A and B are shown apart, each in its own frame.
Chain A
């Protein structure tokens, strides 16, 4: 009985001892700056040809994306090859408004996923920077943590950048490869692979890209 009380007391004691805070990760300021260097211009418009592949089935679309990074706003318009609007939606600080869609399916999970993919491709460095290093081959690795997920960006000397997202269980969820050259600050080609669920891949080729000075009317209906 005394032994049980002792164990109980020790357990209670251990619970009451404050856990020392995890030491802050010290990142070389130079690398930190490199990691947070903007991939995309602050406000821009991009038109992409998008090839979607789902389990061997392929289809093509045209995507128009307007991003206001400082305002945390994205407008995404998805068109069929014939130029008809399939989806037109805005994400304003994470709040999604659908201006136009032909199909109810696109208003839920699909639209949220679409904006998630856009953020992943254009703004991978979100969350807390937890690691940064330069490998022997000269490539830069940056690692962020956000909501339990880990984002890892590797920028190779060849100019190709690869970003991976891992879940809390360390399984890879998404990977995007960004291929130079840069056109107006935007990558000419991007290839995204999603491994969750049945999986899919997106190949995006930049048709037009330009930085914008103003956003008047670009985020309204």
Chain B
């Protein structure tokens, strides 16, 4: 691919964010609005104006980097809120969820991720590990086939990618956005679901018990149709998450070796090794 460093691209996408801004400022607050800007649903440079944007475009690959990070963050945020929502299924009212969540100090699990696409003969399978420690430490690690680690420790957010025989730190400016998302996650983990009504949860009775999350925001509907959580028999533990996307593709996460409130060392969130 050849790229002209001086190339300017006229982005003709119309940002209809004035309405979004008005709604979000009322219902979600400025934090989520900033997150939306990062996701590409608005433009912080020009405010939220309904106009095209002339922007320097250095290298399309760099845009890909940013996009990849945005998707990763969003996925990660959704995944992280799942155990919390799963507990909602057992308790069934929000006040008891907040009380229940105060009892979660840590979560660790192995996960297997299966990606189904119409053009694939068989799912793409990835394996990894997940650690969470209250109030906001996270390690989300892919082991196979791609080695990739996201660490959140206090205010510090770092992502590492595996190249050849070692991890390389990705310290791009996009990590600032990760911190914004982490603040959102921390809010969810405190049980403050009504501050963010991006999904409408519905409890499906029977065995196994399931929670279906339907996105009620357009920006989510574009790439998520439905999320289904299947609960295990243990309170606070979910066995699978299925994210149904448009055009028949889906992502299924299966959790195993789940440990609640086990001691997790600082190095898990500080050190990539």
Contacts and interface: CB of A to CB of B under 8 A. Distances in A.
A113 to B, nearest CB: 3
Interface-centre pick from B68, B120, B249 (highest chain A CB count, 10 A): B68
Contacts of B64: 52, 59, 61, 78, 86, 106, 110
Q: How many of chain A's residues touch chain B, expressed as a range?
A: 35 or more
A82 interface: yes
B4 interface: yes
Given A57-B170, A57-B172, A113-B2, A81 B124 contact: no
Contact of A113 (B1, B70, B113, B161): B1
A58 B161 contact: yes
Interface stretch (A7-15, A27-35, A95-103, A154-162): A95-103
Given A79-B115, A84-B223, A218-B119, A194 B65 contact: no
Contacts of B13: 104
Contact of A194 (B1, B124, B142, B170): B1
Given A49-B145, A49-B146, A57-B172, A100 B67 contact: no
Contact of A64 (B63, B117, B168): B117
A30 B76 CA distance: 55
Interface string A86-124: 101000000000011011111011101110110000000
A109 B68 CA distance: 17
A116 B1 contact: yes
Contacts of B61: 52, 54, 110, 200
Contact of A54 (B5, B59, B142, B249): B59
B233 interface: no
Interface-centre pick from A59, A104, A105 (highest chain B CB count, 10 A): A59
B61 to A, nearest CB: 5
Interface string B52-77: 00000111111111011111100110
Q: How many of chain B's residues touch chain A, expressed as a range?
A: 35 or more
Contact of B65 (A59, A79, A81, A198): A59
Contact of B249 (A60, A85, A113, A117): A85
A103 B3 contact: no
A43 interface: no
Given A79-B115, A109-B7, A62 B124 contact: yes
Nearest to A82: B75
Nearest to A52: B61
Contacts of B1: 109-110, 112-114, 116-117, 194, 196, 200
Contacts of A55: 59
Interface of A is mostly: strand
A60 B71 contact: no
B63 A106 contact: yes
A83 B67 contact: no
A60 B62 CA distance: 12
A110 B117 contact: no
Nearest to B222: A102
A196 B3 contact: yes
A18 interface: no
A59 B119 contact: no
Given A79-B124, A82-B72, 4 more contacts: A80-B72, A86-B67, A173-B2, A196-B3
6 contacts: A51-B161, A54-B62, A85-B249, A113-B1, A197-B3, A197-B59
Interface of A: 45, 47, 49, 51-55, 57-62, 64, 66, 75, 77-86, 88, 99-100, 102-106, 108-110, 112-114, 116-117, 173-174, 194, 196-198, 200, 203, 207, 210, 217-218, 221
